[in-house]
Amino acid sequence: MTNHETERLKQLCSFSVEELAAFINRLSIANDEVGKAVDLFLLRNDTKGLTKQIRNRIAGIKRSTSFIGYRHAGEMAEKLNAILEVIENDLLPSAPLEALRLLARFIETDGPVLNRADDSDGMIGDAYHRACRLFGSASTAAGQPQEAEELFMQLREGDAYGTRDVLYDEAKSILSQEALQRVIAQWKFRMQGEDFNTIGGIRIRLAQIAESIGDPELHEEATLAGRDKDAYPLLALDVAKVYLASGKPEVAMTKLPSEGACRHTYDRDAMLIEIHKAMGNKDAIAKIYWRQFEQSAHPLHAQSYLSIIPEEERGTALSRMREVVKNGSFSAFIRARFFAETDDTSTAAEIVERHGEALTNEFYGDLLDLVKLLEKDHPLAATILYRANLESILKQAKSKNYGYAARYAKKLVKLSVRIDNWKTVTPHEVYWKAIEETHKRKSAFWARLNGK
């Protein structure tokens, strides 16, 4: 609750019951949704009446056929959440079994609702995820009855949109220990005859349940189904993750796919680092960070390496890094970025000045990040970078970006007066005449530059 909402609540509490009741009644008459909320509120001590009203609301949502456009998806999500608020706060504490049944009905509306909705932002889907979590809470409160198992299996068969994924995360709350074992045994049997690549099949759901209950062996069995981990490296990484989460880092290490099996090693490295952290192997982590740095020369990898080695070794390590970057086959931009971000802006500027043409194809956002580090003390290098961005925008000829081009052009003027030695770079006056000639027909750019 925000400070404003808290203050408003305090002010409302200063009014008499009669005044507030009259105010709420007026609102309920003027606004249909408020009226529905008031009707439910008045039934909060009448379990039978409240259950009937909620059931009717759910049925109405399921019957509706009107399309829910993108702009109205939020309103629909609010309507769904309003029902869930009542179930959670007014029904579940006193009648959890009724709440469980209503939540099952509610969850079953996901197909009819999403069939007629543009839920690009996922707000409607989030409401159904919330309902699945409440389903777990209601079952636990009701003592995990046999009916919960029946409803769980019923809901599993109708999951067309994946909105019920949370049910499998809540399996331990929904099902009694005996029911959970029955479901696992049944699904292990059904899994044997299922196509391994079935999307959303029994195998996938069983793996999800296994992860939620912390059973890494069952998760591995369901995820890989006896297949070679190197043939399915991404699945093998999931298996390792669950073993690690279960407090078994040594076993997790054995479940990793080989480095050669991974098209991209980043995910494997990230998991390997987490495993070594759990095992307290700082030296092994440092080796991974160093390898990543040698491959990329990225400042983040450099920082990761420097942060894990002893402080007294960092100066020597940074010198080694600079040698790696100087002698490696990295692009001019990568080398300049590394030196600039490790406070050697002079070397970075020298690279930019010597290899300016090679920078013209770099992403403009990366060039802007680099120029911010060089602009203060190295105007010639900054000029080269601003020119690269200016020329890229003018070449694309997209008028929506001309405001940026005008900004860079003005930067070039200010930088030019600070440059005494242009070295091999074309001086500003000559350069600008060429720009004027080449892009003279881009009237929208010149208008932006001249403030029109």
In the DSSP assignment, the letter for residue 91 is I
Closest CA to 243 of 221, 260, 269: 221
**C-alpha angle 209/223/210, rounded to 5°?**
20
Distance CA 25, CA 28 (A): 5
pLDDT given for residue 35 in this prediction = 65
pLDDT given for residue 49 in this prediction = 86
pLDDT given for residue 264 in this prediction = 80
pLDDT given for residue 10 in this prediction = 82
Distance CA 360, CA 125 (A): 44
Let me know if 445 is exposed, middle or buried by CB neighbors in 10 A (0-12, 13-18, 19+).
buried
Left (φ > 0), alpha (ψ -120 to 50) or beta: where does 90 sit? Answer: alpha
Let me know if 220 is exposed, middle or buried by CB neighbors in 10 A (0-12, 13-18, 19+).
buried
pLDDT beneath 70, residues of the chain: 1, 32, 35, 38-39, 42-43, 46, 362, 452
pLDDT given for residue 30 in this prediction = 72
Backbone angles phi, psi at 117, to 5 degrees: -130, 150
Query: 119, 73 in Cβ contact below 8 A?
Result: yes
**Can you name the residues that pair with 117 across neighbouring β-strands?**
68
Query: 178, 145 in Cβ contact below 8 A?
Result: no
Question: Which H or E element spans position 128?
Answer: helix 123-141
Closest CA to 243 of 286, 210, 209, 206: 210
Cα end-to-end distance, the chain, whole Å: 46
pLDDT given for residue 14 in this prediction = 84
Distance CA 127, CA 33 (A): 18
Distance CA 167, CA 219 (A): 17
pLDDT given for residue 193 in this prediction = 86
**Can you name the residues that pair with 130 across neighbouring β-strands?**
none
**C-alpha angle 71/77/78, rounded to 5°?**
100
pLDDT given for residue 170 in this prediction = 96
